[in-house]
Amino acid sequence: MKVAQLSLNELRALLVGPGLRVKAGPFNLSIRTRLPSLIRQLHSLYSRYSLVEEDEIVEFHVQVIPRRSVRRPFARLIQFEVDGRFPFPPVPLEQALATLEWGVNLVIAARINHFLLFHSAAVERNGHVLLLPAWPGSGKTTLSAMLMYHGYRLFSDEFGLMEPQSGEFYPLPRLMPLKNQSIEVVRNRLPEAMLGPEIPGTLKGTVVHICPTQASIEQSDETARPRWIVFPKWSAGAAVRLEPLPQSEAFLLLATNAFNYEVLGKTAFNAVTNLVRGCECRKLVYSDFDEALAVLNALTDG
Amino acid sequence: MADCEKNIRAEHHQLLLEAIAQPADLVNYNNQQWELLLRLARRAQLSGYLAARLEKGGMLGSIPLRAANLLHSSLIQAKKQQQSVNWELNRVIWALDGREVPLIVLKGMAYLLLDLPNAAGRIFADLDLLVSKEDLNQIESSLLEKGWQHHALTDYDERYYREWSHEIPALVHPERGVEVDVHHTLSSPLGKLKIDPLPFRKAAVRVQGKDIYVLNPEDMLLHCAVNLFQNNELADDLRHLVDFNEMLQFFIYRQPDVFQQKLIERANQLELGNPLFYSLYFSRLLLRSPVSTDLEQQLDRKPGWIARHVMHYCVPLALLPQHPDQPSKRAVLARLVLYLRSHWLRMPLYRLLPHLTYKFYLSVFPGRSTDTGHNR
Amino acid sequence: MFWKACNFSSLPVENWNGEFTVFQPESGKTHFLNEMGLKILIILDQSPASLDTLCQKLSEYFTLQPDVQFPGQIARTLQRYEALGLIARVKESE
């Protein structure tokens, strides 16, 4: 059953009461909140997600709750809570959705160690995974949002979830936060995309969430093996370039950016070694998305 | 209403306590029980402990996959933390470079060095060391010289540490981030309960094959008991009671005829009857410890009956984690009582009130400091 | 004073076209080394060596021109390696 099949009242009853139990890739999530604005936003933006089947275990239980501040008694603040803990300070009510999404990512990054968690976007084409690791100026969220509408299946814009022994990657298609200038780009290029409200004033500037396509969410149980690692860099006015990247550099960048590389120790050392040795490593510089798409299609065609 | 609340609490506490007492039964838990148990175990910082027990029994494959994945994740985390603290100890020994400073390793790292049954999957992040007061400066300067740094502290905190508490401020190597706490006493020097560290140091035993020491078994248990019932406010501290009970069973198993007697004698000698009394009492009450009630009757010092009743009511409410979806007001009150008690035990009242006021001020105005020295 | 490598032969090493990743199980750290950095560990693993002997062996292996700054650079590398627990000081060459 999908969230879309719930009326707003039914959804509210869950969010206010026992929690909305919803599937997120290999994990299950329970969300609770009383905030009317957040309930309305989730009604549309979570409509494509499936409810957790009866009697399945939920891993993460999160809440977004209203807060009072001694210092700012008249401000309407909210805070993200997970199992009695508050990892972020309170923020204005308008940022509830952004805080919820970041909070869930934080909980996954802090608790999950049976996967190696790369800080990377991941998409699939022709049955194999293309990793787009995060590094400064990568614009990985925008790029993966665009690719998702041009023949690629979205795994995630944030997490490369790898099972370290098998090397298999797991999809985790969650809402993706578009930031600042990229919001207009996506509005113009992808009029069919489902977008959330404009959220100004977050730590990362103005944010708008884009919902993964129905197909990406429906196939989120289908894992795949990696074949390409491309470090993207958006650079204004640059002509498109797809250049080889030394494997040692790919190793260094992947390992130092992973959320739990050190925690997994030798398992991670071996896993990253095998990953890099088994993949084609490239560096992509681009300014125009169509040009980037053309070279990525050429790379992933064969 | 009160009965209803009591039932809810009893049920989730029972779930966690059963899991600790009978890990073999975990293979029969349904998904609903697992979901609640995992949340409670995480709060009590016992998920690594449960995972280690299941792994040892070869049962991680016989429980629901989602539960196994979360437990496995906790176990990986715990193993990494243990490795980090172990390596920190290696680096501290290196930094002291042959100087004749006997190091006594305390708490989590000591359990690990001795491979005690409670060490597997135990979550701990700090390295705790006991040294003589005379060696304190030498160690501090050696570590500072080799790259360790003091945690950034306000002047107030620094003074609190050095003058009123029993530690120098924690030392951290910025490349590794493990806290090294160097103690020269085992409780606050201003606390009502005076603990002379000298007999503990004298009785310390050398770790096989290494140039470091740990407390002897009786003292290790007493130190654990003191930390639980004299130094702490007990909130979510069930894991330390689990430590106590696991170690107690293990040492009794190793020295079946004599250990219990040695423990009582040592507690009487060091006048630590009260914390040992409570540790034995609550191990039996909550963890079904098989030790006989006759044992604590031999203690010279025991808490009076009023204290016993208050503790009997408050301690389980504080030690055991709250229900994650149904927090109980009574537990909050019990925790407040124990919080005040712990500070009462640790510090004279004229010191305590300004300290609590300052902590409260900070919790309302984080980032602000009353340090006027810099704001003139 | 002599230097020796700590259990170097038991550490997993991966070669990436002349750059190396080394995993140190005791600390759980991954070290990135160039060829010179790795060669230092290999030499000190074969037998303990003084700074002079080490510099001499490295100069021979990499056929380096004499450079007054070279021993200073190697000494700093050794200090760094010692802090990382990759090498240790020993009194004798055994």
Give the chains touching B; criterion: ≥3 Cβ pairs < 8 Å: A, C
- 8 A C-beta contact, residue B320 and residue B44: yes
Sequence-ordered list of residues with C-beta below 8 angstroms from that of A40, at least 6 positions apart, any chain: A8
DSSP state for residue B190 in the 8-state scheme: T
pLDDT recorded at residue C94: 52
Cα A174 to Cα A53, A148, A151, A158, C67, distances in angstroms: 19, 13, 18, 9, 57
* Contact call for B87 and C28, based on CB within 8 A: yes
**End-to-end Cα separation, chain C, in angstroms:** 12
**Short-list A26, A27, A28, A102, CA closest to A64:** A102
**Short-list B21, B222, B215, B42, CA closest to B121:** B42
Q: Does C10 touch chain A (CB under 8 A)?
A: no
- 8 A C-beta contact, residue C2 and residue C48: yes
pLDDT recorded at residue A245: 95
Q: How far apart are CA B316 and CA B39, in angstroms?
A: 18
CATH number of the domain that residue B281 is part of: 3.30.460.40
User: Are A155 and A294 members of one domain?
Assistant: yes
Q: How far apart are CA B60 and CA B52, in angstroms?
A: 9
**pLDDT(B371) > 60:** no
Q: Which residues of B touch A57 (CB under 8 A)?
A: 31, 34-35, 38, 64, 66-67
**End-to-end Cα separation, chain B, in angstroms:** 56
Q: Is residue A201 part of a domain?
A: no
- 8 A C-beta contact, residue B125 and residue B176: no
Q: What angle do CA A127, A133, A138 make, to 5 degrees?
A: 120
Q: How far apart are CA A125 and CA A266, in angstroms?
A: 30
User: Could you count the other beta carbons within 10 Å of the beta carbon of residue C93?
Assistant: 12
pLDDT recorded at residue B158: 65
Q: Is residue A103 part of a domain?
A: yes
* Mean pLDDT computed over B229-242: 82
CA C39 to chain centroid, in Å, comes to: 6
Q: Which residues of B touch A59 (CB under 8 A)?
A: 38, 66, 69-70
Residue that finishes a domain, picked among A96, A111, A126? A111
With a pLDDT cut of 70, the percent of chain B lying above it is 78
Of A70, A83, A265, the CB nearest to B80: A265
Q: Which residues of A touch B42 (CB under 8 A)?
A: 83
Q: B16-69, pLDDT tens digit by residue?
A: 999 999 999 999 999 999 999 999 999 999 999 999 999 999 999 999 999 999
Across chain B, mean pLDDT equals: 84
* Residue A37 domain boundaries: 3-111
* Contact call for B80 and A58, based on CB within 8 A: no
* Contact call for A248 and C30, based on CB within 8 A: no
Comparing alpha-carbon positions, the chain A residue that sits nearest to B44 is: A83
Q: Is residue B117 part of a domain?
A: yes
Total domains present in chain B: 1
User: Are A61 and A95 members of one domain?
Assistant: yes
User: Are A294 and A219 members of one domain?
Assistant: yes
Q: B292-338, pLDDT tens digit by residue?
A: 888 889 999 888 888 888 888 888 888 888 888 877 766 676 666 66
User: Are A101 and A121 members of one domain?
Assistant: no
User: Are A159 and A47 members of one domain?
Assistant: no
Q: What is the pLDDT along chain A (302 residues), one digit of tens a residue?
A: 999 999 999 999 999 999 999 999 999 999 999 999 999 999 999 999 999 998 899 999 999 999 987 777 778 999 999 988 899 999 999 999 999 999 999 999 999 999 999 999 999 999 999 999 977 667 889 999 999 999 999 999 999 999 999 999 999 999 999 998 899 999 999 999 999 999 998 988 999 999 999 999 999 999 999 999 999 999 889 999 999 999 999 999 999 999 999 999 999 999 999 999 999 999 999 999 999 999 999 999 97
Mutation target to probe the B interface, by most B beta carbons within 10 A, among C23, C27, C31, C91 is: C27
Q: Is residue A120 part of a domain?
A: yes
Q: How far apart are CA B189 and CA B346, in angstroms?
A: 8
Q: Which residues of A touch B55 (CB under 8 A)?
A: none
Q: How far apart are CA B146 and CA C63, in angstroms?
A: 35
Q: Is residue A23 part of a domain?
A: yes
Q: Is residue A187 part of a domain?
A: no
Q: Is residue B280 part of a domain?
A: yes
Mutation target to probe the A interface, by most A beta carbons within 10 A, among B36, B37, B39, B123 is: B39
Comparing alpha-carbon positions, the chain A residue that sits nearest to C11 is: A266
The tokens describing A16, both together, are 């206010």
Query: A-side interface with B, Cβ within 8 Å?
Result: 28, 55-59, 61, 70-71, 83-84, 111-114, 262-265
The tokens describing B128, both together, are 């705790």
Q: Is residue B374 part of a domain?
A: no
User: Are A134 and A246 members of one domain?
Assistant: yes
Beta partners for A32?
A: A63
pLDDT recorded at residue A240: 96
The position carrying tokens 């924690």 is B170
Q: How far apart are CA A197 and CA A93, in angstroms?
A: 13
Q: Which residues of B touch C26 (CB under 8 A)?
A: 83, 86-87, 90
The tokens describing B25, both together, are 């039964």
User: Are A102 and A137 members of one domain?
Assistant: no
Q: How far apart are CA B198 and CA B221, in angstroms?
A: 17
Q: Is residue B61 part of a domain?
A: yes
User: Are A170 and A91 members of one domain?
Assistant: no
User: Are A247 and A150 members of one domain?
Assistant: yes
Please give the single-letter amino acid code of residue B106: L
* Residue B186 domain boundaries: 2-362
Report all structural domains of chain C as residue ranges with CATH numbers, in order of start: 2-90 (3.90.930.60)
Q: How far apart are CA A90 and CA A71, in angstroms?
A: 12
Q: How far apart are CA B350 and CA B330, in angstroms?
A: 29
- 8 A C-beta contact, residue A119 and residue A90: no
Total domains present in chain A: 2
pLDDT recorded at residue A146: 95
Q: Is residue A198 part of a domain?
A: no
User: Are A142 and A248 members of one domain?
Assistant: yes
Q: How far apart are CA B283 and CA A207, in angstroms?
A: 52
CA B314 to chain centroid, in Å, comes to: 18
Dihedral over Cα of B280, B284, B288, B294: its sign: positive
User: Are A101 and A133 members of one domain?
Assistant: no
Q: Is residue B371 part of a domain?
A: no
Q: What is the 3-state secondary structure (H, E, C) of chain A?
A: CEHHHCCHHHHHHHHHCCCEEEEECCEEEEEEECCHHHHHHHHHHCCCCEECCCCCCCCEEEEEEEECCCCCCCCCEEEEEECCECCCCCEEHHHHHHHHHHHHHHHHHHHCCCCEEEEEEEEEECCEEEEEECCCCCCHHHHHHHHHCCCCEEEECCEEEECCCCCCEECCCCCEEEECHHHHHHHHHCCCCCECCCEEEECCEEEEEECCCHHHHHCCCCCEEEEEEEEEEECCCCCCEEEECCHHHHHHHHHHHCCCHHHHCHHHHHHHHHHHHCCEEEEEEECCHHHHHHHHHHHHHC
pLDDT recorded at residue B347: 53
**pLDDT(B343) > 90:** no
Q: Is residue B152 part of a domain?
A: yes
Q: C32-67, pLDDT tens digit by residue?
A: 999 999 999 999 999 999 999 999 999 999 998 888
Q: Is residue A150 part of a domain?
A: yes
Q: B162-210, pLDDT tens digit by residue?
A: 665 556 788 999 999 999 999 888 875 555 667 889 999 999 999 998 8
Q: How far apart are CA B234 and CA B319, in angstroms?
A: 6
Residue B8 banded pLDDT, cuts 50, 70, 90? very low
Residue that finishes a domain, picked among A79, A111, A143? A111
CATH number of the domain that residue A291 is part of: 3.90.228.20
Give the helix/strand (H/E) hosting B316: helix B305-319
DSSP state for residue B327 in the 8-state scheme: -
Q: Is residue B196 part of a domain?
A: yes
Q: Is residue A157 part of a domain?
A: yes
Of A247, A262, A273, the CB nearest to C28: A262
pLDDT recorded at residue B28: 95
- 8 A C-beta contact, residue A256 and residue A201: no
Q: Is residue B367 part of a domain?
A: no
- Kindly report each contact of residues A293-301 with a partner whose C-beta sits within 8 Å and lies 24 or more positions away, as own/partner: A293/A146, A293/A147, A293/A150, A294/A240, A295/A240, A295/A242, A296/A130, A296/A147, A296/A230, A296/A242, A297/A125, A297/A151, A299/A130, A299/A228, A299/A230, A299/A242, A300/A125, A300/A126, A300/A128, A300/A130, A300/A227, A300/A228, A301/A126
Q: C68-93, pLDDT tens digit by residue?
A: 899 999 999 999 999 999 999 998 65
User: Are A282 and A225 members of one domain?
Assistant: yes
DSSP state for residue B153 in the 8-state scheme: -
pTM of this prediction? Answer: 0.90
